[in-house]
């Protein structure tokens, strides 16, 4: 078990550029964290710093108050599950699971008991004596995970996009099992992904990263309800948050076309690029409201998304269940859910 | 043009790899092959491309048989899951390569490349090399190269699988526009039900080497013809329960009767299927309550997937709002019979969800 | 279903068939022809049936005894070469750098012996190992060890084996290196996190992942060493006595030295069949193991 701290941590590439910009953060013991962001945002760099595969160029990494910045992976009590399943081909499932224990000189009897226990947790008991090479990708990922869980000293389990090569149906199975497992085995879990659904459903707290910087840390609902940055608004949600350039004065926003929208809070004078943000979930197509022109309707099976144009910009809205497409479509906005952003950052208003 | 498959099938060593399929693939809308890994999507694509020879059936392009023709002599282009470009060529040269092979006049090549680059928003990157681009741009280059040939048939094998989630979203939105603007037949293989719906065309669902249904995506999603189709076309997975028909009624385990009309279904075992978003944790008028135990809950921000153990079956319910019930907590799930699909012992759909249209 | 066929494609294969006929089929048939006949020169041939084969495979005859002696020598030579070159090749491949300028430098250096013509290799070692003027021979003698490959059978064997190791270990190294490079980084990272030491990494990851290239390396090295001729012929000429007279050298002695074309032909056919059989058995057992494992 471990509480992980980063103190003035940064990683630079010789030329002065940062792959990871300086940050301070603490991850609580036994928490489920997700690092979410597009390729190249620095999430894998951060993961490798936690595991010890990469030494940060600045700052310290602290596990439970003890500095581990210079310790190699094998001395950090971390386990890792990779994007492509890593199993030891020539070994059986049992030998694979026992491998980390054998390397640490655990007696065979104790090791076997641990292996049986972990196999039961992961539903691998029936295949313990089969060769690992012949199994499907999902079972191989379970083995990778099992090699981490089998050590009773393991403090952190790291997941590097572990579901990439898994079929959608098996993803559900594996993900929920992972989540159940986290309830039973109190270790810190860190899950790196570019897939918001995976990040939000897995983690208690999601760390959203962009261009080497942490832009927001929060619960799934906080990221959904109050994105601190337009990047978070866009990145979380499918489709992401609608952002409309506007001018804000007090309790009113004026869109480019001149349309006026009442705001739930009063805002001071804002500098820079001012945008109004609203999620498609809170903008529904209706018979009255802001007139828009309809471009296209996407049928997602369990809901429909109306792609419309508002003030000359594309805008995604919800077409309510059972409602026929209106002849003169308008937008009804849930005003309480509107947010104002100045230069990309959430502007705080006064109620 | 349009493409017609007439009893097209492939078997190897006496075993059917792809069961015979007869469908007509029109241009304009994408034709999506939906199924898990190993269902036969790539097999079918390879037959369409002419890379493999079918062991039975025929393929007609615009009424002309093309079954035995090698890929070179068919008008076909392919996009793969991996970003396949010539690394030493610039983006422009990559897109132009099939036209140069075809020895088109320079002016024509220039015009077509610029057109494809505009459609795929590659204009600013034409002089760069593929490896200097992001994954999304690399895959756009590969797609542009497939489009520029103006092939009668463009095959895409999970083209977005290796891209970031948000990039996928972007391209999913752009692709249907490209499809609509050309007279080409597009065949698009994917494992993801959501992608099949978003592309907004026809869907052929595949399961264990068999095309189980072919039709408009929304139609197939709401009215699956059999259990295999419903399973393939559900994300999260379809919630299922074994049941039996007795005295014209459907009985779930524990003698819970479902008021569903099942005329024509013989007495005996059947299967109930219902999707996650059609179940409820709150009482619904006309719904049947079932006792359950919480396994785990996943919160997406605005909704929650609650995984339940319902009498030994693993079910998942999509509930609005944020819910974090504790594991092993008792729960009640409400099953609306009008949203249930009833499948006979042979897997065929016996009773339709009456409210399928509504959601 | 009617498959449209284009049989004209076969025409394209004709030139290759003709070439193979001239380069392989006709010579082989000539050898087969010789093996069942006897000649006393003057281009006169007599039918001899399977007599040469019977004599060859009977160790109590003069020809048979000589054949089996040479066969054991050759097998011993191949065995020694494999035993040294394969482990040594793996070890060197493991020590090579994985990135940086060192990669190109070491690969080029390693490839050098492979580029030298075989008779030149023989000549180099003949001089190199000479007790009077050769760097190696003189140095060893200078240490007080009596070493003369022209007189002492053991010294001759050591010289010939050392020469083969020097010449061909690089090939094993290059093959193994290619196999090692194909292992994704994630495997090493996983092993690190699992606390595996260098030996465990070798046993659990590197060796299994090198299995395919090692099969090729063993096959190539067996075939080449089993057929070795030029280098030992240049260095020892098969001596001292018959100590390093391998099958190929003996074959040439019989065919060209004594002009016993029939015996030599029968011997080359058996020689060839041995190589084919050994390779086939080896290949069949290793690949069956692999296909079973991947089922």
pLDDT in tens, C202-218: 988 999 888 888 988 99
| pLDDT winner (highest mean) among A325-329, B29-33, B115-119, C276-280 | B29-33
Domain of A288 in residue numbering reads as 240-346
Peptide bond preceding B214 in cis form (omega within 30 of 0) = no
| pLDDT winner (highest mean) among B28-37, C43-52, C53-62 | B28-37
Q: Is C145 helix (H, G, I), strand (E, B) or coil?
A: coil
What pLDDT does B308 receive? Answer: 94
C41: confidence class by pLDDT, cuts 50, 70, 90 = low
Tokens at residue C15, please?
A: 């030139």
CB contact under 8 Å between B193 and A168, yes or no, is yes
Peptide bond preceding B305 in cis form (omega within 30 of 0) = no
Q: Is A343 helix (H, G, I), strand (E, B) or coil?
A: coil
CB contact under 8 Å between A89 and C194, yes or no, is no
DSSP H/E element including C66: helix C62-95
DSSP A124: -
User: Do C175 and C89 meet the contact criterion of CB atoms below 8 Å apart?
Assistant: yes
- Is the pLDDT assigned to residue C295 strictly greater than 50? no
Class level of CATH domain C74-260: mainly alpha
B355: confidence class by pLDDT, cuts 50, 70, 90 = low
What percent of chain A stands above pLDDT 70?
100
Q: Tell me which of B35-39, C49-53, C139-143 is least confident.
A: C49-53
Strand order in the sheet with B64-65: B15-25, B3-12, B56-61, B64-65
What pLDDT does B356 receive? Answer: 53
What pLDDT does B283 receive? Answer: 92
User: What tens digit of pLDDT does each residue of B215-230 get?
Assistant: 999 999 999 999 999 9
Chain A: touching chains (3 or more CB pairs < 8 Å): B, C
Q: Which of A302, A320, A324, A337 to mutate to test the interface with B (most CBs of B within 10 A)?
A: A302
Residues A167 and A264 reside in one and the same domain: no
**Chain B contact present for A38, CB below 8 A:** yes
Of A61, A44, A114, A79, which Cα lies nearest the Cα of C196? A79
What is the number of residues in chain B? 359
Residues A136 and A117 reside in one and the same domain: yes
Helix A93-103 and helix A108-122: axis angle, to 10°?
Answer: 130
**Chain A contact present for C199, CB below 8 A:** no
Q: How far apart are CA B145 and CA B92, in angstroms?
A: 9
C293: confidence class by pLDDT, cuts 50, 70, 90 = very low
What pLDDT does C292 receive? Answer: 44
The stretch C84-97 carries a mean pLDDT of 92
In this complex, how many residue pairs, one in chain B and one in chain C, have their CB atoms less than 8 Å apart? Answer: 11
| A19 assigned to some structural domain | yes
DSSP A350: B
User: What tens digit of pLDDT does each residue of C217-264 get?
Assistant: 999 999 888 888 888 888 787 778 788 888 888 888 887 877 777 788
Q: Is C19 helix (H, G, I), strand (E, B) or coil?
A: helix
Residues A80 and A45 reside in one and the same domain: yes
What pLDDT does C6 receive? Answer: 62
The stretch A28-49 carries a mean pLDDT of 91
- On the 0-12 / 13-18 / 19+ scale of CB atoms within 10 A, A92 is middle
* Nearest-neighbour CA in chain B from C5: distance (Å): 8
Q: CATH number, domain at A59?
A: 3.40.50.300
| A351 assigned to some structural domain | no
The stretch B287-291 carries a mean pLDDT of 90
The stretch A81-105 carries a mean pLDDT of 90
CB contact under 8 Å between A172 and B169, yes or no, is no
**CATH T-level fold of B3-230:** Rossmann fold (3.40.50)
Chain C: touching chains (3 or more CB pairs < 8 Å): A, B
* Nearest-neighbour CA in chain A from B169: distance (Å): 8
What pLDDT does C246 receive? Answer: 85
CB contact under 8 Å between C193 and A51, yes or no, is yes
Specify the CATH number of the domain B237-249+267-351.
2.40.50.140
C294: confidence class by pLDDT, cuts 50, 70, 90 = very low
Whole-number CA gyration radius for chain B: 24
CA dist C158 → A253, C153, C155 (Å): 92, 9, 5
C279: confidence class by pLDDT, cuts 50, 70, 90 = confident
**How many whole angstroms from its chain centre is CA A180?**
18
* Residues of chain C contacting A78 with CB distance shorter than 8 Å: 193
What pLDDT does C59 receive? Answer: 80
Q: Which of B6, B68, B70 to mutate to test the interface with C (most CBs of C within 10 A)?
A: B68
| A254 assigned to some structural domain | yes
Q: How far apart are CA A303 and CA A305, in angstroms?
A: 7
CB contact under 8 Å between C193 and A79, yes or no, is yes
Peptide bond preceding A262 in cis form (omega within 30 of 0) = no
Q: CATH number, domain at A316?
A: 2.40.50.140
Residues A35 and A184 reside in one and the same domain: yes
Residues A197 and A254 reside in one and the same domain: no
User: Do A317 and A284 meet the contact criterion of CB atoms below 8 Å apart?
Assistant: yes
B358: confidence class by pLDDT, cuts 50, 70, 90 = very low
* Residues of chain C contacting B54 with CB distance shorter than 8 Å: 1
User: What tens digit of pLDDT does each residue of A149-162 get?
Assistant: 888 888 899 999 89
CA dist A120 → A24, A80, A123, C49 (Å): 38, 20, 5, 71
CA dist A21 → A15, A27, A188, A211, A229 (Å): 14, 18, 23, 9, 17
Residues A256 and A202 reside in one and the same domain: no
A344: confidence class by pLDDT, cuts 50, 70, 90 = very high
What pLDDT does C1 receive? Answer: 39
Of B205, B202, B217, B186, which Cα lies nearest the Cα of B79? B186
What pLDDT does C56 receive? Answer: 77
User: What tens digit of pLDDT does each residue of B64-78 get?
Assistant: 888 888 887 888 889
The stretch A173-177 carries a mean pLDDT of 88
State which of A187, A211, A234 marks the end of a domain.
A234
**How many whole angstroms from its chain centre is CA C152?**
24
* Nearest-neighbour CA in chain A from C206: distance (Å): 10
Cα distance between the two ends of chain A = 42
* Residues of chain C contacting B18 with CB distance shorter than 8 Å: none
Of C228, C221, C224, C220, which Cα lies nearest the Cα of C70? C228
Q: Which of A169, A226, A279, A306 to mutate to test the interface with B (most CBs of B within 10 A)?
A: A169
What pLDDT does A193 receive? Answer: 93
What pLDDT does C2 receive? Answer: 39
CB contact under 8 Å between A86 and C295, yes or no, is no
Tokens at residue A28, please?
A: 């609580």
Q: How far apart are CA B294 and CA B279, in angstroms?
A: 14
| pLDDT winner (highest mean) among B258-272, C14-28, C80-94 | C80-94
Q: How far apart are CA A110 and CA C277, in angstroms?
A: 48
What percent of chain C stands above pLDDT 70?
94
Residues A219 and A272 reside in one and the same domain: no
- Is the pLDDT assigned to residue A16 strictly greater than 80? no
| pLDDT winner (highest mean) among B161-170, B226-235, B252-261 | B226-235
User: Do B251 and B215 meet the contact criterion of CB atoms below 8 Å apart?
Assistant: no
State which of A178, A211, A234 marks the end of a domain.
A234
C172: confidence class by pLDDT, cuts 50, 70, 90 = very high
* Residues of chain B contacting A169 with CB distance shorter than 8 Å: 36, 231, 235, 237
* Nearest-neighbour CA in chain C from B170: distance (Å): 30
State which of A219, A234, A249 marks the end of a domain.
A234
In this complex, how many residue pairs, one in chain A and one in chain C, have their CB atoms less than 8 Å apart? Answer: 62
Q: How far apart are CA C138 and CA A15, in angstroms?
A: 56
DSSP C271: H
What pLDDT does B359 receive? Answer: 41
- Domain coordinates in residue numbering, chain B: 3-230, 237-249+267-351
Residues A92 and A145 reside in one and the same domain: yes
Residues A198 and A254 reside in one and the same domain: no
What percent of chain B stands above pLDDT 90?
43
Of A290, A313, A308, which Cα lies nearest the Cα of A298? A308
Long-range contacts of C32-37 (CB under 8 A, 24+ apart): C32/C265, C32/C269, C33/C265, C34/C261, C34/C262, C34/C264, C34/C265, C35/C262, C35/C265, C35/C266, C35/C268, C35/C269, C36/C262, C37/C262
The stretch B305-320 carries a mean pLDDT of 92
**Chain B contact present for A237, CB below 8 A:** yes
User: Do C179 and C134 meet the contact criterion of CB atoms below 8 Å apart?
Assistant: no
The stretch B231-250 carries a mean pLDDT of 89
What percent of chain C stands above pLDDT 90?
14
| ipTM score | 0.87
C285: confidence class by pLDDT, cuts 50, 70, 90 = confident
């Amino acid at each position: 078990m471990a509480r992980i701290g980063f103190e003035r941590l940064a990683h630079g590439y010789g030329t002065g550029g940062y792959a990871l910009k300086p940050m301070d953060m603490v991850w609580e013991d036994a928490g489920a964290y997700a690092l979410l962001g597009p390729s190249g945002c620095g999430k894998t760099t951060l993961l490798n710093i936690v595991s010890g595969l990469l030494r940060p160029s600045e700052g310290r990494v602290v596990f439970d108050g003890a500095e581990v910045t210079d310790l190699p992976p094998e001395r950090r009590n971390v386990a890792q599950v990779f994007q492509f399943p890593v199993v030891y081909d020539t070994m059986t499932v049992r030998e694979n699971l026992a491998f980390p224990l054998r390397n640490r000189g655990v007696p065979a009897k104790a090791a076997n008991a641990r292996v049986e226990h972990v196999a039961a947790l992961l539903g691998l008991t029936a295949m313990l004596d089969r060769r690992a090479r012949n199994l499907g990708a999902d079972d191989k990922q379970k083995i990778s995970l099992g090699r981490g869980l089998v050590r009773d000293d393991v403090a952190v389990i790291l997941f590097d996009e572990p579901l990439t090569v898994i079929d959608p149906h098996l993803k559900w199975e594996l993900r929920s099992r992972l989540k159940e497992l986290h309830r039973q085995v109190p270790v810190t879990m860190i899950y790196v992904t570019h897939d918001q659904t995976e990040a939000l459903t897995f983690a208690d707290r999601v760390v959203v990263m962009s261009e080497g910087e942490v832009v927001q840390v929060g619960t799934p609902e906080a990221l959904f309800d109050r994105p601190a940055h337009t990047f978070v608004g866009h990145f979380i949600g499918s489709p992401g948050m609608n952002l409309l350039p506007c001018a804000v004065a007090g309790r009113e926003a004026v869109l480019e076309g001149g349309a006026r929208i009442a705001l739930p809070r009063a805002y001071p004078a804002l500098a820079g690029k001012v945008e109004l943000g609203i999620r498609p979930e809170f903008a529904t197509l209706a018979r009255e409201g802001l007139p828009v022109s309809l471009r296209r309707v996407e049928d997602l099976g369990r809901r429909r998304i109306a792609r419309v144009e508002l003030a000359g910009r594309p805008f995604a809205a919800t077409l309510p269940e059972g409602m026929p497409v209106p002849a003169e479509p308008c937008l009804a906005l849930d005003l309480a859910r509107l947010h104002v952003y100045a230069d990309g950052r959430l502007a705080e208003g006064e109620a | 043009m349009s493409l017609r498959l007439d009893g097209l099938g492939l078997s190897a060593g006496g075993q059917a790899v792809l069961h015979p399929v007869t469908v007509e693939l029109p241009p304009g809308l994408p034709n999506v092959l939906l199924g898990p890994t190993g269902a036969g999507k790539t097999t079918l694509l390879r037959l369409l491309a002419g890379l493999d020879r079918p062991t039975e059936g025929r393929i007609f392009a615009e009424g002309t048989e093309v079954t035995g023709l090698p890929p070179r002599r068919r008008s076909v282009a392919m996009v793969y899951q991996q970003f396949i470009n010539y690394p030493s060529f610039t983006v422009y040269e990559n897109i132009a390569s099939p036209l140069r092979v075809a020895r088109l006049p320079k002016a024509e090549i220039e015009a077509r490349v610029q057109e494809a680059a505009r459609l795929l928003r590659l204009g600013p990157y034409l002089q760069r090399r593929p490896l200097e681009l992001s994954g999304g741009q690399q895959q756009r280059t590969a797609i542009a190269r497939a489009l520029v040939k103006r092939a009668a048939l463009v095959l895409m094998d999970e083209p977005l699988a290796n891209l970031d989630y948000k990039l996928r979203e972007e391209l999913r939105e752009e692709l249907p526009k490209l499809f609509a603007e050309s007279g080409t037949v597009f065949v698009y293989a994917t494992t993801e039900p959501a992608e099949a719906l978003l592309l907004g065309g026809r869907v052929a669902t595949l399961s264990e080497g068999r095309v189980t249904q072919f039709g408009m995506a929304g139609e197939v999603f709401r009215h699956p013809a059999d259990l295999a189709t419903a399973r393939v076309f559900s994300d999260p997975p379809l919630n299922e329960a074994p049941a039996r028909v007795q005295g014209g009624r459907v009985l779930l385990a524990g003698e819970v009767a479902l008021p569903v009309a099942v005329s024509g279904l013989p007495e005996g075992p059947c299967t109930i299927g219902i999707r996650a978003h059609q179940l409820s944790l709150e009482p619904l008028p006309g719904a049947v309550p079932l006792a359950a135990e919480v396994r785990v809950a996943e919160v997406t921000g605005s909704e929650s997937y609650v995984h339940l153990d319902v009498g030994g079956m693993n079910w998942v319910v999509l509930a609005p709002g944020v819910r974090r019930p504790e594991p092993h907590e008792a729960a009640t799930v409400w099953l609306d019979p009008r949203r249930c699909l009833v499948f006979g012992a042979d897997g065929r759909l016996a009773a339709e969800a009456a409210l399928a249209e509504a959601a | 279903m009617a498959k449209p066929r284009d049989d004209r494609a076969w025409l394209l294969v004709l030139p290759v068939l003709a070439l193979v006929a001239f380069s392989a089929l006709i010579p082989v048939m000539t050898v087969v022809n010789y093996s069942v006949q006897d000649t006393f020169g003057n281009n006169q041939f007599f039918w001899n049936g399977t007599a040469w084969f019977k004599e060859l495979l009977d160790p109590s005859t003069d020809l048979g005894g000589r054949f089996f002696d040479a066969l054991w020598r050759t097998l011993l030579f191949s065995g020694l070469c494999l035993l040294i070159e394969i482990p040594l090749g793996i070890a060197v491949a493991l020590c090579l750098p994985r990135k940086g300028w060192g990669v190109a430098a070491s690969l080029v250096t390693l490839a050098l012996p492979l580029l030298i013509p075989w008779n030149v290799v023989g000549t180099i070692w003949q001089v190199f190992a000479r007790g009077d003027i050769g760097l190696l021979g003189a140095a060893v003698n200078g240490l007080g060890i009596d070493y003369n490959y022209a007189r002492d059978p053991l010294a001759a064997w050591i010289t010939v084996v050392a020469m083969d190791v020097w010449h061909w270990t690089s090939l094993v190294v290059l093959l193994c290196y290619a196999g090692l490079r194909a292992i994704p980084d994630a495997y090493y990272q996983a092993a690190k996190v699992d606390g595996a030491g260098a030996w465990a990494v070798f046993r659990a990851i590197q060796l299994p992942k090198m299995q395919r290239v090692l099969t090729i390396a063993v096959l190539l090295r067996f075939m080449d060493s089993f057929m070795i001729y030029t280098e030992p012929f240049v260095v020892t000429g098969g001596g001292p006595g018959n100590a390093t007279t391998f099958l190929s050298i003996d074959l040439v002695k019989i065919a060209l030295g004594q002009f016993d074309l029939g015996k030599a032909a029968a011997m080359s056919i058996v020689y060839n069949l041995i190589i084919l059989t050994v390779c086939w058995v080896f290949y069949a057992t290793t690949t069956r193991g692999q296909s079973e494992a991947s089922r």
